[in-house]
Chains A and B, each alone.
Chain A
């Protein structure tokens, strides 16, 4: 990962926050703009989650990630805190790989 990419992404995120302080109210007040802004994180996070679970590069790959994410979903159903959900998923995948090895 190049430093250019890291800095472009980082400064870009900072610039977006600054933009909220600078753009005219009429732009951000628009109901359509607000609706889209609300839908973006939901759609992107879901798509990223699915991609990171079952794909590898450009093809489908089913492996220890799938049951690990299943465990994460169960933990979320029981309202487990963020860190616990992540640890449980990692531990599940690690243990399954240990057993399979």
Chain B
């Protein structure tokens, strides 16, 4: 539809979508600072920390990865397990974003919690695509800039324990978890998963406790009745 014949209402709605996307980018980017700091605190180089944000680009996975940095297998496994939900996001957003050609890979790369939430919240196809790409670009740019700042900054400031960064890691996980604990059942599963992981820690090699927690999730999913809320 030519630009001139677009009704004014759509221009205002487009402006709002762009503003909201920038807001999401700013908020998400801000906590990229803590990721950057945690990355170098965990012993990764500034470059490695930045590559995670550039290539993996999915918050929970990145935090999990640097949190388990002492064990590369556990770190990779938890990052990938936490990344599984992005496949479902891709599945949901592909028919509404409909990227063409080379943009398809970029759209996949930029499919995360925030871009999915913003794009699926729109009721108009053009606004959907606008929300997706505007959110994607602002989050990607700001998240990566913030990662660099956090990584370079924390690397200069000295011991992670002195800065309390080892406490920042579990706090970050809880902050990511809080909005997901929508009901008592999810809370109960979270408790069981944590208890299993904790009890297994002294008796199993590093990394296995997290895999056992994943097993709790799989078991709970299999035991759920049809009609339970979907992700």
Number of interface residues of B (CB under 8 A): 96
B171 near A1 (CB under 8 angstroms)?
Answer: no
Q: Interface range on chain A: under 10, 10 to 19, 20 to 34, or 35 or more?
A: 35 or more
B198 near A55 (CB under 8 angstroms)?
Answer: yes
Q: Nearest Cβ distance between residue B78 and chain A, in whole angstroms?
A: 6
B218 near A83 (CB under 8 angstroms)?
Answer: no
How distant is the Cα of A83 from the Cα of B218 in the complex, in angstroms? Answer: 31
A93 near B164 (CB under 8 angstroms)?
Answer: yes
A34 near B88 (CB under 8 angstroms)?
Answer: yes
Interface residues of B in 154-179 (CB under 8 A from A): 161-178
| B214 contacts across to A, CB distance below 8 A | 40, 43-44
Please report whether the interface of chain A is mostly helix, strand, loop or mixed according to DSSP: helix
A86 near B186 (CB under 8 angstroms)?
Answer: no
| B180 contacts across to A, CB distance below 8 A | 41-42, 45
B58 CB–A CB distance under 8 Å: yes
Task: Choose among B33, B69, B80, B167 the residue that contacts A69 (Cβ–Cβ < 8 A).
Answer: B167
Q: Nearest Cβ distance between residue A40 and chain B, in whole angstroms?
A: 5
A62 CB–B CB distance under 8 Å: no
Output the nearest chain A residue to B49 by Cβ-Cβ distance.
A6
Binding site for A on B (CB under 8 A): 27, 30-31, 33-34, 42-44, 48, 51-52, 54-58, 60-61, 64-65, 67-70, 72, 75-76, 78-91, 94, 104-105, 107-109, 111, 161-178, 180-181, 186, 189-191, 193-194, 196-198, 201-202, 206, 209-210, 213-214, 216-218, 220-222, 224, 226, 228-231
